[in-house]
């Protein structure tokens, strides 16, 4: 393991540690260990290989060497509302990273709430984890995975990796440097101007806005038109009967493209 106390020496933004691991069970679990030790400094944790990577809802996240598997450990308090907003910050940072690696003419969009799609195919994932104390989130792990050189097969949605979409070969540390700077920029924007500016930027790269969508909740699915996202980031879906549903969490699919 190597730890760089000042990320800017390697092209990273100031104010963060960079913890580079050859192998780890999960970068999010590494962040949890740092929280247990009361590590005070924000840290980007990056692993060349994960043995127990996971995605949302307990799904396995495949973690082959060559892809980016990283977690930003944030040792600060957040409200539950703020934590949800950070998910959109992370999505915009990943979208910016992918666009930087593929070029401005690439078709890069965000699938609600924060999956990056390239030509309609998923290339990334985000998993936020934290611990509550005194009705506040005491710390946060922003786990991010980006398919640089490989992508999984047999997924319920089309998936891809950046090299398959025309990107050049890039190491996980090179990609992390781009991501860390993008996140720092969007995070500072959120802190200084609030969530409204983040939602405005998100709408500009939203996938499927105004078109047909299927939202799969835990026990049922809702089909309709993707109207918008509201001021809290919830998805607004209008069904065939004209009822508008406010959806805070779901897996979403786009029938025309998927």
pLDDT digits (tens, 9 = 90+) for 24-61: 989 999 999 999 999 999 999 999 998 865 555 445 55
In this prediction, the residues of the chain whose per-residue pLDDT falls under 70 are 1-10, 52-63, 256-258
What pLDDT score does 221 carry? Answer: 96
Element (H, E) at 158: none
**CB 97, CB 179: distance < 8 Å:** yes
What pLDDT score does 161 carry? Answer: 96
CA distances (Å), origin 113, targets 10, 49, 56, 148, 222: 31, 26, 12, 21, 17
Structural domain spans, the chain: 2-204, 212-253
> For the sheet containing 251-253, what is the strand order?
244-247, 235-238, 221-229, 212-216, 251-253
Among candidate residues 241, 147, 179, 161, the one with its CA nearest the CA of residue 45: 179
What pLDDT score does 258 carry? Answer: 46
Q: What is the pTM of this model?
A: 0.91
**CB 131, CB 137: distance < 8 Å:** yes
Tell me which fold the domain 2-204 belongs to.
Answer: BirA Bifunctional Protein; domain 2 (3.30.930)
Same fold, 2-204 and 212-253: no
- CATH assignment of 212-253? 2.30.30.100
Tell me the C-alpha distance between 120 and 235, whole Å: 19
């Amino acid at each position: 393991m190597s730890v760089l106390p000042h990320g800017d020496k390697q092209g990273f933004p100031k104010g963060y540690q960079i913890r580079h691991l050859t192998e780890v069970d999960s970068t999010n679990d590494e962040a949890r260990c740092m929280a247990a030790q009361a590590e005070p400094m924000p840290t980007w944790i990056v692993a060349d290989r994960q043995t127990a990577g996971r995605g949302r809802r307990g799904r396995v996240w495949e973690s082959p060497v060559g892809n980016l598997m990283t977690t930003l450990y944030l040792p600060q308090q957040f409200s539950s509302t703020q934590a949800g907003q950070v998910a959109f910050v992370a999505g915009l940072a990943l979208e910016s990273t992918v666009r930087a690696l593929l070029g401005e003419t690439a078709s890069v969009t965000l699938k609600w709430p924060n999956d990056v799609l390239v030509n309609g195919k998923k290339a990334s994932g985000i998993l936020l984890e934290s611990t509550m104390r005194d009705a506040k989130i005491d710390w946060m792990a922003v786990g991010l995975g980006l398919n640089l050189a490989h992508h999984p097969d047999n997924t319920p949605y089309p998936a891809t990796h950046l090299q398959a979409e025309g990107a050049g070969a890039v190491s996980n540390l090179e990609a992390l440097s781009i991501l860390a700077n993008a996140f720092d920029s969007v995070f500072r924007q959120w802190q200084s101007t609030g969530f409204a500016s983040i939602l405005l930027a998100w709408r500009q790269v939203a996938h499927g806005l105004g078109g047909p969508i299927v939202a799969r909740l835990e026990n049922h699915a809702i089909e309709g038109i993707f109207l918008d996202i509201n001021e809290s980031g919830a998805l607004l879906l209008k069904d065939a009967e004209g009822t508008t549903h406010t959806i805070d969490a779901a897996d979403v699919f786009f029938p025309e493209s998927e």
